[in-house]
Amino acid sequence: MAGVSNQFRQSDVTGWGIAAIACAGLAIVCANLTALAPQSLTTALHVPHANGVSLAQLRQQVAELRTETALLRRQNELLATRFALQEQTGSEVVRRVGALEVSMPSLLDTPLPGSGVDRSTTTASIGTPGQMFDAQGGSVLVRQSPMPPQLTNSDAPAPYIAALPNLPASDQGYGVSIGSSFAAGQGHAQWLDMQVRLGSLLLEMAPLVTPGSFAGEERLVVGPMGAVSSARDLCARVEQVNISCSPVAYEGTPLSQ
């Protein structure tokens, strides 16, 4: 028993106990650090070497990025050059417009050679001087002139009445030629377009096709109407929507539906 007690001393047990406590504390700290580490770092540590990015691949990617950067730099320089050219062109246009603004009034004020001054005309700047009165917020200029004499019935001009040609009457009555000329065979499309644009004005109207002014052209005639005055009234309403219209005889080829 004395030999066994001499083999195990208290100092040996103390050293091994401290080592065991240090290992346990290190294990606890490593476990906590692993939980605090990002998931991507843990995944990268577990990725095999074959699946990782090699140094050569990184260098290749850096070289590609440098090439793209140089290309972007050249494109930027090209755009800057174009922008400078556009600014130069705009400055030239502004300069020319400014020169015109300066020279045009002088050209307009310069009298033409051989042209005199019409002394019979009177402008507002050299007319009868007026009287200036003070008013609230400023002044008022009053000019007095006699009223023009009232025209009698004998002096009044006769109203202008446009002379309309006498239209030849047809067996079916009168019609109106609406719209412009169109290519042969397009009468159905022209009639649909007129129905959309004129609407109720073409109710109870039948379309006809007549030859146009040139070869291969046709015109659209709608009717019939019993009197030429009705055709003129319809043309007056059609022309209000900016469509040409003229009274004609209701003759032509029926439009195929």
**Could you tell me if 252 and 178 are in contact, meaning their C-beta atoms sit under 8 angstroms apart?**
no
- 199 φψ region: left (φ > 0), alpha (ψ -120 to 50), beta (else): left
| C-alpha dist (Å) from residue 166 to 150, 156, 169, 237, 247 | 38, 29, 9, 21, 10
Burial (CB < 10 A; 0-12, 13-18, 19+), residue 231, is buried
Q: 102-111, 134-143, 228-237: which has the minimum mean pLDDT? A: 102-111
**Among the listed residues 138, 253, 130, the one whose alpha carbon sits nearest the alpha carbon of residue 184:** 253
Give ∠ CA 92-95-99 in degrees, rounded to 5: 140
Which pLDDT belongs to residue 162? 43
Which pLDDT belongs to residue 48? 59
For residue 119, name the pLDDT band (cuts at 50, 70, 90): low
**pTM metric for this prediction:** 0.36
How many whole angstroms separate alpha carbon 206 and alpha carbon 166? 23
Looking at residues 28-45, what average pLDDT do you find?
Answer: 72
The larger pLDDT score, comparing residue 89 to residue 5, is at 89
pLDDT digits (tens, 9 = 90+) for 237-254: 888 888 889 999 888 888
Q: 6-20, 124-138, 143-157, 199-213: which has the minimum mean pLDDT? A: 143-157
Q: What is the mean pLDDT of the chain?
A: 77
How many whole angstroms separate alpha carbon 221 and alpha carbon 207? 6
Rg of the chain taking only CA atoms, in angstroms: 51
Looking at residues 29-35, what average pLDDT do you find?
Answer: 74
Which pLDDT belongs to residue 72? 94
Distance of CA 52 to the CA centre of its chain: 54
The larger pLDDT score, comparing residue 69 to residue 44, is at 69
Phi, psi of 168, deg, nearest 5: -70, 130
> With 90 as the cut, is the pLDDT of residue 71 above it?
yes
**Could you tell me if 221 and 248 are in contact, meaning their C-beta atoms sit under 8 angstroms apart?**
yes
- State the first-to-last Cα distance of the chain, in angstroms, to the nearest integer: 132
Structure letter (DSSP) for residue 203 = T
**Could you tell me if 227 and 159 are in contact, meaning their C-beta atoms sit under 8 angstroms apart?**
no
How many whole angstroms separate alpha carbon 63 and alpha carbon 75? 19
**Among the listed residues 49, 21, 46, 18, the one whose alpha carbon sits nearest the alpha carbon of residue 34:** 46
**Structural domains of the chain in order of their starting residue, each with its CATH number:** 174-254 (3.30.70)
| Structure tokens, 136 | 């609230």
